Amino acid sequence: MKLAHLADLHLGFRQYYRQTSSGINQREADVAHAFGHAVDAILEAKPDIVLFAGDLFHSVRPTNAAILHAFNQLQQLRVGLPDVPIVIVAGNHDTPRSVETGSILKLFEVLGGVHIVAQDARELTFERSDLSLVCVPHAALTVSRSSLALPESGASHKVLVTHGEIAGTLSRESSSLEYGGILVEPSDLNVDAWSYVALGHYHVARAVAANAWYCGSLEYVSTNPWGELIDEAREGRRGKKGWLLVELGDRTKVEFMPISLARDLVDLEPIQGEGLGAEDLDRVVAERVASARQGIEDNIVRQVVYDVPRPIAREMDHQQIRKFKTSALHYNLDVRRPAPSRVIGVGAPGHRQTLSELVTDYLSRRTLTAEVDRKQLTDLADRYMDEVERDLLEE
């Protein structure tokens, strides 16, 4: 039997300021575009079951446009594959803090053949496919890892669907990006006992074991997509998003199914700015933009420049920078200052803490409530301080 494995669609995700002609945030429209392409490909592949492993929406209260798009696309699956079950498991972005709030996901049960698992772990049995599906949403993982236990039925195919962070999977570049998931030890998955483990939460397609995979997201919907590009390059799929087509049998086969994205992410070659004046930096920045294979028009672009003092950054050609910003959907000139130093005592060089370092040091010592993750808080503060510093440089 074949199953389609998707996760982390984050419908309703918004970023940057550009809007479509109909008034929709451009990135929200891009995410909807990606889902539409995935649905078309699934209809062509004709799987026996379609699994969504969490974070169908970007928030527990998605926009009306996002809800309508999800409904229409699921309806297409329902019409095109009338006998194929659709299973949606809630991720951390789909899960309200209060049980009384309820889940928007329950709306889609009116389509028929759509199974929603939003709060407690459930076992779903499909006799026609000889399949037992154990669905463990984010909310169930917050209570107990025992919900990952094997099914009671004797079906030939046993599949686990869950949404969380498998310890040791996320890289240094991604560890601060996919926050909010529940940490699960690899041993808790008991992968050898399952035909397949369908995972959600990490936005890069990656195997945890031969039969246990993250399918990744369909678009770049994290706070920093550049870490995703690095991780994708390690997997040999830089700049590629998609879903997984899984064939269960004597040997599980997993095929990555790439989809067409609305635009490229362009991470330009970094510039070492030490010793360069403003005019030299302007020239090198322009050369980097001109050398971009995909071009920058309507794309999401980053240019990192290291070791540039603030006075030099202020003297750069900001008219040229605004031109790049107008051409791209988003152009981020990430100018980073040299590490500050001062003279201590009789002249020995010493390090003076930056404002970002002072904030991080303060948060590392501050008393926090039990539900606040200190590392996530300090990582978030560090990122915000970096954004403030870059905004000051571009003024």
Q: Is the pLDDT of residue 345 over 60?
A: no
Q: What is the pLDDT of residue 181?
A: 79
Mean of all residue pLDDT scores within the chain: 88
42 band by pLDDT with thresholds 50, 70 and 90: very high
Span 122-136, mean pLDDT?
Answer: 92
Task: Transcribe 179-232 into DSSP letters.
Answer: TTPPEE-HHHH-GGG-SEEEEES-SS-EEEETTEEE---SS--SS-HHHHHHHH
Q: What's the predicted TM-score (pTM) here?
A: 0.84
**Domains along the chain with CATH numbers:** 2-258 (3.60.21.10), 265-394 (no CATH)
Q: Which has the higher per-residue pLDDT, 326 or 369?
A: 326
- Residues 305-328 as b or e (16 or more Cβ within 10 Å = b): bebbeeebbeebeeeebeebbeeb
pLDDT of residue 177: 52
Condensed to tens digits (0 to 9), the pLDDT of residues 347-373 reads 555 555 666 777 777 777 666 665 667
Tens of pLDDT, residues 84-96: 999 999 999 998 8
- Of residues 345 and 24, the one with the higher pLDDT is 24
